[in-house]
Amino acid sequence: MLDTKFIREHVEEVKDNLAKRHASADVDKFVELDAKRRELLQKVEAMKSERNTVTQEISKLKRNKENADAQIAAMKKLGDDIDVLDKEVKAVEKDMLDIQLMIPNMCNPSVPVGEDDSDNPEVRKWGELPKFDFEPLNHWDVGENLGILDSERAAKATGARFYYYIGLGARLERAVYNFMLDQHVYKDGYTEVIPPYIVNRDTMIGTGQLPKFYEDMYRLNVEGEEMYMIPTAEVPLTNYYRGEIIDGSKLPIYLTAMTPCFRAEAGSAGRDTRGLIRQHQFHKVEMVKFSAPETSYEELDKMTNNAEDILKALGLPYHVVCLCTGDIGFSAAKTFDVEVWFPAQGKYREISSCSNTEDFQARRANIRFRRTPKDKPEYVHTLNGSGLAVGRTVAAIPGKNYQQADGSVVVPEVLRPYMHCDVITKQK
């Protein structure tokens, strides 16, 4: 969430940022409400000052055993008027917050201006694109042919965009996320967490999923309270410190988790209807960081490298792009997407998105840190990134020469200790 003072003092910059993001929010109304709020607060403060004066007069009259009825009546009226104005202030603040929560983060000045993902500049590229002496199949065909993926029975059990992972398919999924977690914990220095998979509304607001993306969330009623199934582990991990002041000497803090993720994908009708790219339920390994402001962009580079290292270890070619203003996420100040090569589709597809939200989420979730015990608390910078989307990684493995002419799939070397086999063949 953007600071109220910042919006007030940078109206045109906020409007320009909205335009470049193709977003909308009533900034003028917000500024109007802010002015009204400040005017009301001035009146309230003046009335409270007057009430204090009258209270002192009443005390003096009572000490002198003089009649104070008129002053008591005046104080009662002042109290009633203050209550009315306090309620008006709260109503104005609610209206302000409703607008404020819909204003996206300011893009970092280094973010390129662009319309959509076609304007995302390539930052770097790794690996040689595979060459086949046969026509490579899409991952869903490979999976169905081998008997390790079953969409038909999943559709019967639940609906579209769900899969059963069978036998070596289930083992491959598990091998991928166990390898990722081991890499992040033992090599990259993250602390592994198993967080809640269901969270409350305040938690979703804290990371920016609500109210903006309400339609994309799976909602539950738990003992009369509206709860949400997590769309990413970013949500519970970032909210771990919600409402707290962190000891600055502990920064940066690295957390990682593998969780199921649940997304209604309300706005994706007709896109990626087959395969593991866009499912309603999927596994993802998430990286989250809490950083001091001055080192957060260094931490963003490290996080992006952590995601890349997974793909390098798997031998999967990829490139990194910097998201432009027209493609960047709501909460992000800057984002690098890591996109892996899909040979059957002949293009790169996103497999990780690493973002620095600066203090945007921290303001919403009230996460601060103190550099020393005597220092004033400051808002921490929060970062998040996929390390990686597991289903998309599984989908990418039939590429890079792992898919063979007979339909079998060679297991990447780093996964063989987890898989206990070298090749995935047709299940009996």
pLDDT tens for the 428 residues of the chain, in order: 999 999 999 999 999 999 999 999 999 999 999 999 999 999 999 998 988 888 888 888 888 888 888 888 888 888 999 999 999 999 999 999 999 999 999 999 999 999 999 999 999 999 999 888 898 899 999 999 999 999 999 999 999 999 999 999 999 999 999 999 999 999 999 999 999 999 999 999 999 999 999 999 999 999 999 999 999 999 999 999 999 999 999 999 999 999 999 999 866 556 666 888 889 999 999 999 999 999 999 999 999 999 999 999 999 999 999 999 999 999 999 999 999 999 888 999 999 999 999 999 999 999 999 999 999 999 999 999 999 999 999 999 986 669 999 999 999 999 999 999 999 999 87
Range of the domain at 331: 117-424
Mapped onto helix, strand or coil, the DSSP state of residue 100 is: helix
Residues 125 and 228 in one domain: yes
DSSP classification of residue 372:
S
Q: Whose structure tokens read 């009546």? A: 73
Decide which of 100, 132, 157 is a domain's last residue.
Answer: 100
Q: Give the E-state strand segments of 231-380 in sequence order.
A: 245-247, 253-262, 281-291, 318-322, 334-342, 347-356, 368-370, 378-379
Tell whether 250 is covered by a domain. Answer: yes
Residues 193 and 277 in one domain: yes
Residues 154 and 181 in one domain: yes
Residues 77 and 141 in one domain: no
Rounded to two decimals, the pTM is 0.92
Residues 269 and 395 in one domain: yes
How many C-beta atoms lie closer than 10 Å to residue 293's C-beta? Answer: 14
